[in-house]
Amino acid sequence: MKITRRELLISAGSLLAYSQLGSLANAEVNIAAQPGDQEMIASMCKALYPHDRFPMSIYMDVAAGAIKKGNADTGAKISFRAGLDGLKINKFDKMNFKKQTKYLKSIENTPFFGLVRGHTVVALYDHKEVHKIFGYQGASFDKGGYKDGEYNDLSWLPEPRIEEHPDLTAFLDDSSPKKYASLKIKKTF
Amino acid sequence: MKIDKKEKAVVVIGSGPGGAQVAYQLTKQGIPVVLLEAGRRIMKEEYVNEEWPAFSQMAWLDKRTMSGNARIVKDFNGLPTWLVKAVGGTATHWAGATPRFLDYEWKTKSTYGSVDGATLMDWPIDGKEMKPYYVKAEDAIGSTHRGGRPPLPANNNYKVFAEGAKRVGYKFYATGPYGTNAAPYDGRPASIQDGFNFQGDKNGSKWNPNVSEIPKALATGKLELRTNSQAVQITTDSSGKADGVLYMDTKTKALHRQEAKVICVAGNSIETPRLFLMSASSRFPNGLANSSDQVGRNYMRHLTGSVYATFDKPVNFFRGETMAGFLADEVKHNPKRGFVGGYYLETLALGPSFLGAFLDPGKWGKKFADMMDGYQNMAGMWIVGEDMPQANNRITLGSAKDAFGLPAPNVHFDDHPNDTAMRNHAYEKGEAIYKAVGATQTYRVTPYPHTHNLGSMRMSAKAKDGVVDKWGRCHDVKNLFVSDGSVMTTGAACNPTLTITALAIRQGEYLADQLKKGNV
Ligand SMILES: Cc1cc2nc3c(=O)[nH]c(=O)nc-3n(C[C@H](O)[C@H](O)[C@H](O)COP(=O)(O)OP(=O)(O)OC[C@H]3O[C@@H](n4cnc5c(N)ncnc54)[C@H](O)[C@@H]3O)c2cc1C
């Protein structure tokens, strides 16, 4: 259920679809089962969130997850099949990036697009390899946290003050309702 | 301690900062308390230092619906809030910023005057009365920069923030006040700069009731903590006093009843009014304690918004404390800026997983990907400011049902023009800070699902204007109290938890005294 719940947050408006993702099993007709289908979806994932630094294998992983969701129920299946057909007919994977973007704009309101985009933005940026490429180190607790010289290793700016400014208390304390009520309101709305 | 369900007990509902604090104040004085918590108890060893798994471990995901013109309604329909269902409440997620209200923020109606479309009102208490409770609350939480406690060191995100602020001409920046230990305090260790405050803090340096008030209250021998116990109705006797709580075992769905002599509700600003509305009866046809029709109204979520920026050199902003960076220069009411009230800027770091989801919900394409691609060179800040209470920003019982067959709450939220004007001002200032230290790209980020939830059971001097009196006691039902942030008459600019804690300490002391005198 973990995947289901996380998508719950992300997929604006499609909560119901996602909450029914539990029942993936026993699908009789599977869509996107042809050779090349996963590659086609992966090219869409890449056009949506293009990163030159990411190997295609990451987008292939993401595409696999999207296809799984496309098979989740009958409703998803029929819209996914139609969307995938569209990509194929238009040879989406052979278009240049500009044309791809234009094509994606034209299908932006379809459930197929919503499913693939909603899945991709979560699965892609949650991908362990993406974290590595981004230089995101994540958890450090097991190593005793980030050490002095790590969490504060930025050296292109001067060391800042960490204590409060000596005038702060006076600044915050000077807040009598009477005094502030005398300020005139200039309404801009 | 075991308390019989037939015994007329003091019952507290919800174990977040509000409920746990009241339970601790009472048990500390020898008064037995039943604490009902809808979630389970998650110990720190179980916390997960990954964003989505931690979210699904503890978030409140029961069905909710939304309406209104705020962008959040479209972006995250069904998930209006970012709240926790576990012992310790949303403070399991909380970062730790602990500023206080300014004196005039208790009296916004008399200070700001009338603002079209807003239901500003003065609190029936003031800054002078609250001052000693703020000190107690800071000591309870262990706020840095207060009570002789040292500041946290600067992490990379703070270095960018502070230097940018300085170059813009600001001076009131610091690494706190912040509710995570810089030095060992109250039996908890100093921060090891391992981040993941939002995921519970495995090191236990961060204050939250699950590592403080709950174990302390249990140690008095006077607390019975009932987990997986979700209150679904408060019942009343023939005289109109509350006399019991119906609650459900969330695992077995069995319904139980606890007899009560006093009830304190602290389920946060959606579940608290929802419970009151679900407790409608022939005596209270519009919902319990709702003769004023104010239950559920004036719901606030603070201004909020974020600014992220990328630079041509590395920042690694994810390392270290999540939100240990503060700027107070814009907090003062200054209507010349084109809005009433003020705001703080606070450092904030998210991992790529959350950032992808929150940077610009629904967006795709090259600009978005380029921003994400700059992750290592990124700095971030959060805007928290006063938002306007509005009568129709409101929690109601919708027609949808949750998994238990109970009416799901609907959250209606419209942005007030004052909120929008303030947010735009803050975006500009935030961008200026980052540009002053060489930002190559800046990004204005829309509010996340609401983390600060306030105001739906507002405190008022007169019964007709609100739900509870200055002690958090219901105007209509004298043995029924509200102990969470929903009592906030107005929300001020500051993060709310210190004030929730201060109010709960004050209420707990008052209630203990009244119970001893036999007045309730
Ligand atoms: C990511 C994040 C960061 C934050 N950072 C800060 C910060 O830096 N500074 C700050 O001041 N605040 C911060 N907050 C806000 C802070 O967490 C809340 O203000 C605070 O937890 C509210 O306390 P509460 O007791 O009112 O409610 P909660 O903490 O939400 O507790 C309510 C509890 O009641 C339980 N409950 C609800 N309904 C029922 C029911 N019917 N029966 C039984 N139990 C029930 C819930 O399960 C929950 O445990 C942050 C929040 C989030 C999400």
Please state, in angstroms and rounded to a whole number, the distance separating the CA atoms of residues B343 and B332.
8
* Protein residue with least CA distance to atom 39, ligand 1: B267
The pLDDT score that the predictor gives to residue A19 is 35
Q: A183 falls in which pLDDT band (50, 70, 90)?
A: confident
Comparing alpha-carbon positions, the chain A residue that sits nearest to B60 is A5
DSSP per-residue letters across B5-43: TTS-EEEEE--SHHHHHHHHHHHHTT--EEEE-SSB---
In angstroms, the CA B450 to CA B412 distance is 12
Task: Look at residues B86, B473, B460, B454 and name the one whose alpha carbon lies nearest to residue B269.
Answer: B454
pLDDT (0 to 100) of residue A21: 37
- Let me know if residue A156 belongs to a domain: no
pLDDT number for residue A187:
62
Q: Average of pLDDT values for B60-80?
A: 93
Give the pLDDT mean for B198-220: 97
What is the number of domains present in chain B? 1
Which DSSP symbol is given to B447? P
Location of structure tokens 């109601």: B396
Asked, for residue A183, whether it belongs to a domain, the answer is no
pLDDT digits (tens, 9 = 90+) for B87-111: 999 999 999 999 999 999 999 999 9
Domain count of the fold of chain A: 1
Q: Where are the beta strands (DSSP E) in chain A?
A: none
B20 CA: nearest ligand 1 atom: 25
Q: Running DSSP on this structure, what letter comes out for residue B504?
A: H
Integer Cα distance of B154 and B127 in angstroms: 31
Instruction: Report pLDDT for A185.
Output: 67
B65-67: strand order across its sheet? B65-67, B407-412, B394-401
Using DSSP bridges, classify how beta strands B441-445 and B306-310 pair: parallel, antiparallel or unpaired: antiparallel
Q: Which CA distances in Å does B129 have to B95, B123, B462?
A: 27, 12, 19
Question: What integer is the mean pLDDT of B293-307?
Answer: 97
In a domain, A145, yes or no: no
Please choose, from the candidates B387, B492, B499, B390, the residue with its C-alpha nearest in 3D space to the C-alpha of residue B450.
B387
pLDDT digits (tens, 9 = 90+) for A27-66: 467 887 889 999 999 999 999 999 999 999 999 999 999 9
Chain B residues 285-344 with a CB less than 8 Å from chain A: 313-316, 318-320, 328, 331-336, 338-340
Nearest to B78 among A15, A48, A135 (CB): A15
Domain residues for the domain of B491 are 9-60+83-516
Q: Is the pLDDT of residue A14 over 60?
A: no
DSSP character at residue B75: H
What is the average pLDDT value for chain B, to the nearest integer? Answer: 97
Touching A: B residues 367-386, CB under 8 Å: 368-369, 372-373, 375-376
| Confidence at B78, pLDDT banded by 50, 70, 90 | confident
**What value does the mean pLDDT take over residues B300-314?**
97
Residues 102-121 of B with CB under 8 A from A: 102-107, 110-113, 116
The model's pLDDT over B331-359, given as tens digits with 9 standing for 90+, comes to 999 999 999 999 999 999 999 999 999 99
Q: Testing the interface with B: which of A102, A108, A152 to mutate, by most B Cβ within 10 A?
A: A152
Please indicate whether, in this complex, the C-beta atoms of A154 and B334 are within 8 angstroms of each other. no
Between residues A17 and A179, which one has the greater pLDDT?
A179
**Which structural domain, as residue segments, surrounds residue A127?**
34-136
Strands (E), A57-163: none
pLDDT-derived band of residue B48, with 50, 70 and 90 as boundaries? very high
Say what percent of chain A tops pLDDT 70. 82
Find, among B52, B347, B72, B45, the residue nearest to B210 by Cα.
Answer: B45
- Averaged pLDDT, B382-401: 97
pLDDT in tens, A101-120: 999 999 999 999 999 999 99
B310 lines ligand 1 (CB under 6 A): no
Give B497 Cα–ligand 1 centroid separation in angstroms. Answer: 8
* Interchain contact, A51 vs B369, CB within 8 Å: yes
In chain B, which residue's Cα lies nearest the Cα of A163?
B174
Domain-embedded: residue B297 = yes
- B473-516 tens-digit pLDDT: 999 999 999 999 999 999 999 999 999 999 999 999 999 999 99
A7 pLDDT above the threshold of 70? no
CB atoms within 10 A of CB A178: 11
Which secondary-structure segment (H or E) carries B158? helix B156-168
Q: Ligand 1 centre and the CA of B502: distance in Å?
A: 15
Ligand 1 centroid to B225 CA: how many Å? 17
B63 has a pLDDT exceeding 60: yes
In a domain, A169, yes or no: no
Using a CB-CB cut-off of 8 Å, the residues of chain B touching A189 are: 116, 417-418, 420-421
With CA atoms as reference, report the closest residue to B141 among B208, B216, B194: B208
pLDDT of residue A12: 39
Residues 6+ apart with CB under 8 A from A91: none
A24 has pLDDT over 50: no
Return the percentage of chain B with pLDDT > 70, whole number.
100
One-letter amino acid identity for B401?
K
Q: Is residue A19 part of a domain?
A: no
Average pLDDT value over all residues in chain A = 87
B442: which strand partners? B309
Neighbours of B65 (CB within 10 A): 18
pLDDT-derived band at A188, boundaries 50, 70, 90 = low
Q: Using the structure block, give the residue that is written with the tokens 């077995």.
A: B252
Q: Is the pLDDT of residue A184 over 90?
A: no
Whether residue A184 lies inside any domain: the answer is: no
* Residue where the block lists tokens 């600019």: B493
What does the pLDDT average to over B186-205? 96
Output b/e per residue, B446-470; b: 16+ Cβ within 10 A: bbbbbbbbbbbbbbbeebebbbbbb
Q: What is the mean pLDDT of residues B195-215?
A: 97
CATH at B463: 3.50.50.60
pLDDT digits (tens, 9 = 90+) for B441-470: 999 999 999 999 999 999 999 999 999 999
